[in-house]
Amino acid sequence: MSKNITGRAIITVDGKRLKTGKRRHPQPGRRQSFIHDRRRRSARLPGRGRRASLECSVYHNKDTSLRELSDITGATVLFETDTGKQFILRDAFTTEPAALNSSDGTVGLNMEAISCDEV
């Protein structure tokens, strides 16, 4: 097991690299299961699927457009960590308008995708 722990990440949206802040959470998505207990017998019931998602904050600079970040649709997003792990989100889109946090110079970015694959 590697002693390196993921600490930083860079995301690339359609070829444009964005350096992330402290908040970054990729979720690969999966089918959620529910436990049903009937007369002390448990059974796992299939549930609804959950889409792949990415929550992160990216640093804002003079080249960052809030409108462009808010209008991302059909993008391929590459999420790279400093330990070498990579995740590819396909057909990604933003779910909320990008909001600038002026106290730390970051923009909150929430995205969902059709799929998320670990490379």
How high is the pLDDT of residue 42?
A: 52
Residue 3 lies in a domain: no
How high is the pLDDT of residue 69?
A: 92
Q: 1 pLDDT exceeds 50?
A: no
How high is the pLDDT of residue 67?
A: 94
What predicted TM-score, i.e. pTM, was given to this entire model?
0.72
d(CA 10, CA 82): 8
Instruction: For residue range 68-108, list pLDDT tens digits in order.
Output: 999 999 999 888 888 888 888 889 999 999 999 989 999 99
Instruction: For residue range 8-66, list pLDDT tens digits in order.
Output: 667 888 888 888 877 666 677 655 445 555 555 555 555 556 678 888 888 999 988 99
Residue 72 lies in a domain: yes
**For 97, which DSSP code?**
-
The CATH number of the domain where 103 resides is what? 2.40.30
For 94, the domain range is 9-118
How high is the pLDDT of residue 47?
A: 52
The number of folded domains in the chain is 1
Residue 2 lies in a domain: no
Residue 1 lies in a domain: no
Query: Quick one: which of 75, 64, 71, 72 has its CA closest to 101?
Result: 64
Q: Supply φ then ψ for residue 66, to 5 degrees.
A: -65, -35
How high is the pLDDT of residue 35?
A: 53
